[in-house]
Amino acid sequence: MSACGPFELPDPSRAIWAQRQKLSDNLDRIKEADEILKEVMGGPKDFPRQQWTQFVSLILEFQPDLIIELGRGWGNSTCAFSLAAEWLQDVNCKILSLCLSDAWQTKTYPRLLESFSRHDIFRRVEAMIADIRTFDFTKHLAGRRRVFVFWDVHGWDVAEAILTNLLSRLKDVAHLVVIHDMADASHMAPDCLVGDEAAWLALGSAMPKFRFGSMCSQYEEGILLEDFATRNQINLRSAESSYFVNLTPAQVQILTSLFGPTYFSQYGFWYFFSAYRPQAQLQFRVSRLLDGLEAADTGASQPEPVSSKSGPKTLRARLRAFVKPMERR
């Protein structure tokens, strides 16, 4: 079984260090896939390039038997997960990939079939065009022992559905969730923190819209996630808190010389957590935060309605006011 034991949240820095030889031996395959993706997309998009080695090593360490990709887009993450699943030993890992977009079916996959030297690796991928908000995960989870979830789809509604339809079902299954497009302010340069967009882009990420303590999020799901984690005492960890804190300068130097600055960085721009709590009662509905605001909107708990408007628009406006967006210069 995994180096992580029966279940332990893996440490990304330990994973990339432990898997460095395997990654280095196979770096040409990663580069080949990355080049094809860039050609199909007309340049790098949606996926900071250090994430190829970060996610592949994390999956090799975690050893899932199912990877659920929420948001496939052009398929950068689909390719990274396919390579990782192929390199896993002793685990037959499937990839369930969900997206509204058909870019994989119409553009990326045909191009990979034509020119990627190992296109047989995609046999593990079930790439579905489906709406995550209404998707039934039940049969896909049956019999799975370790599940890796990649959350790269954005917005309120879909975040609520992921919490209630997927994570509530995973509570009793060992799993790891990686959520994309986040950042840890504790490790960002001062220029980033005062809202210099160019400083974020130079590090490989767009500037986040929201900040809660040190957690920065590009999209609204960060708000729901913070609420969910706080209510359930779930530890949300940043990639940066691992790569910056747990790697020694000598290890950073070795990893940089093995992969080059393109494919190794201590910045991840993702967070990770697990809601694996077999004995515990968790609250998956995004109720407390939203119910309180809804009640205020409809006047249910107030003698006088605080607003004549009701419904999601007012709710969103209230949440926007509630969570102060990062200042822009």
Chain positions contacting ligand SAM, by CB under 6 A: 46-47, 71-77, 98-101, 131-133, 152-153, 158
Q: How far apart are CA 200 and CA 187, in angstroms?
A: 12
**Strand-strand pairing, 146-151 and 174-180:** parallel
Q: Is the dihedral of CA 215, 60, 10, 223 positive or negative?
A: positive
* Shortest Å distance, C-beta 155 to ligand SAM: 7
Under a CB-based contact definition with an 8 Å cutoff, are residues 125 and 78 in contact?
yes
Q: Which is nearer to ligand SAM, 8 or 39 (CB)?
A: 39
Question: What is the per-residue DSSP string for 173-202?
Answer: SEEEEEEESEEEGGGS-HHHHTT-HHHHHH
Nearer to ligand SAM, 88 or 128 (CB): 128
Q: How far is the CB of 52 from ligand SAM (least distance, A)?
A: 10
User: Cβ closer to ligand SAM: 155 or 292?
Assistant: 155
When the beta carbons of 10 and 48 are compared against ligand SAM, the nearer one is 48
Whether residue 322 contacts residue 315, with contact meaning beta carbons closer than 8 Å, is answered with no
Kindly tell me which of 158 and 315 has the beta carbon lying closer to ligand SAM.
158
Q: How far is the CB of 131 from ligand SAM (least distance, A)?
A: 4
The residue nearest ligand SAM at its CB is 73
Nearer to ligand SAM, 44 or 195 (CB): 44
Q: At closest approach, how far in Å is the CB of 141 from ligand SAM?
A: 18
CB of 313 to ligand SAM, least distance (A): 19
Minimal distance in Å, beta carbon 233 to ligand SAM?
28
Please tell me the distance from the alpha carbon of residue 271 to that of residue 179, in angstroms, as a whole number: 5
Nearer to ligand SAM, 7 or 47 (CB): 47
Q: What angle do CA 9, 13, 17 make, to 5 degrees?
A: 120
Closest distance to ligand SAM from the beta carbon of 299 (Å)? 31
Q: Catalogue the long-range contacts made by 1-10 (C-beta closer than 8 Å, 24 or more residues apart).
A: 1/63, 2/61, 2/62, 2/63, 2/146, 3/61, 4/61, 4/62, 4/63, 6/174, 7/174, 7/274, 7/276, 9/176, 9/235, 9/237, 9/272, 9/273, 9/274, 10/58, 10/61, 10/62, 10/176
Q: Which two tokens stand for residue 259?
A: 């992969």
